[in-house]
Structure 1
Amino acid sequence: MKGEFKKYQHILVPLFALIAYFYIVEPLYLYAKELHQTNQLLARKVVKGEKLVDSKDTLDDELSRVTIQYNRLEPFIFQKGSENDVKLEVQKKLESFLANAQCELKRFSWEGKPVQKGTLIKWSLNLRYEGSPFCLTTMTKQLDSAMPLFVVDSFFYQDKRIDGNPRNRIPARLDVTFYQISGGDVEL
């Protein structure tokens, strides 16, 4: 048998070398390479984490600044709720303004779909009503002092015959915008 090995030695040595390379050396090399890449990724994550920890004071200052701004703006914005709840609340509020001003509501319509930017939703509506000059001024004063805030985009009225008579009926149109916090939780 020794003779057989000597006879095929020139074939067996490279064969064992190839077997050792494919089954021992190459898997170990690939494992070491993968381990090295994993270590590099972990090192990058550690560096990023250290940067975040180092910037904690800056982030805390920014959070407190944003919290103060949010708390200042909160009374001016309708709070979160379903679309129907917000629409109903706004419609009731505007109808009560009209009733207080002794105006007659002609049409109340929502303008298109609401526009969302971040956590704010912008709503637009169109209001047509009719009333005396007192009605017009009272309605605009109520909208001006309302909380949450209503923004009057446009205000039109027909002044064919305003002669000081309080019984004159003047048709008016208001385009109003207001803002709502979206349904996503805003925790500050």
Structure 2
Amino acid sequence: MKSDLLKYKHYFIAIAALLVGLYITDPLWISYNELTQTKVLNSVRANKLSTLLTQQTQLQQQLEHAKKLSENITPYMFNKTTESDFKLKAQQAVEQVLKQANCNLERVEWQGKVQLTPSLEQWLLTIRFNGAPLCLVTATKAIELLKPTVRFKEYTYNGRSFTGNPTENINADVDLIMWNNTHTSPEQKEQEQP
């Protein structure tokens, strides 16, 4: 029996070496590589942080400049903290324009919003109205001049047959984009109150 074991001792040594390699050396090598990668990533992060800390004053100046610029654009956005207040104010503005242009409003439909930043929303409003050609021209121009800003995304004007008669009826389907700043400062709230 001892001679049989000696006969296969090279096989046992090879199997032992494979087991050591498989269960000890290979996991240690993988762990070493992971630790090396972690060390490299941590050094990159440390370099970025040190760069940011050295540029802290410059970044603070840029932040102050951006805050001043954002104050300049607030008159061009609706500044309502609730969705219902925003929708009411925006819809009233559009309806007032159509009424002044002698257009007949048929449908108003809110399509939804896109959250641009934590406090800035972009809304899509679809309206359908009809009236004489002068109504369409007047309403289109008045909507473009609204403040807070309202922009056309898409529009379609159509009629049964247009012969150039100024009293003919033309239909309009319009998609409007508008922006709402849900975070208003106390000064903005005071300005909005009647």
Match of 1:24 in 2: none
After superposition, where does 1:2-151 map in structure 2 within 5 Å? Answer: 52=53, 54-112=54-112, 114-118=113-117, 119-151=119-151
1:75 corresponds to which letter in structure 2?
Answer: P
State the Cα distance separating 1:181 from its structure 2 match.
1.0
Structure-2 separation of matches of 1:60 and 1:99? 48
Secondary structure, in 3 states, of the residue corresponding to 2:178?
strand
Q: CA offsets, 1:106-156, max 9 Å, x none?
A: 0001113x2212121111111000100001101110111111111101110
Structure-1 separation of matches of 2:184 and 2:93? 24
Q: Is the CA contact 1:157–1:170 (under 8 Å) kept in the aligned structure 2?
A: yes
Structure-2 separation of matches of 1:184 and 1:105? 31
Q: Which runs of 5+ in 2 are unaligned?
A: 1-48, 187-194
State the Cα distance separating 1:171 from its structure 2 match.
0.8
Q: Is the CA contact 1:82–1:183 (under 8 Å) kept in the aligned structure 2?
A: no
Aligned residues: 137
The alignment's C-alpha RMSD in Å is 2.4
Q: Is the CA contact 1:78–1:179 (under 8 Å) kept in the aligned structure 2?
A: yes
Q: CA offsets, 1:92-112, max 9 Å, x none?
A: 111100001100000001113
Question: What TM-score, normalized by structure 2, do the two folds share?
Answer: 0.64
2:95 corresponds to which letter in structure 1?
Answer: E
Q: Is the CA contact 2:81–2:184 (under 8 Å) kept in the aligned structure 1?
A: no
Structure-1 separation of matches of 2:111 and 2:75? 24
Structure-2 separation of matches of 1:95 and 1:184? 25
Q: Is the CA contact 2:150–2:177 (under 8 Å) kept in the aligned structure 1?
A: yes
Structure-2 separation of matches of 1:184 and 1:99? 30
Match of 1:11 in 2: none
2:179 corresponds to which letter in structure 1?
Answer: Y
2:164 corresponds to which letter in structure 1?
Answer: G
Q: Is the CA contact 1:153–1:176 (under 8 Å) kept in the aligned structure 2?
A: yes
Structure-2 separation of matches of 1:184 and 1:110? 23
1:116 corresponds to which letter in structure 2?
Answer: Q
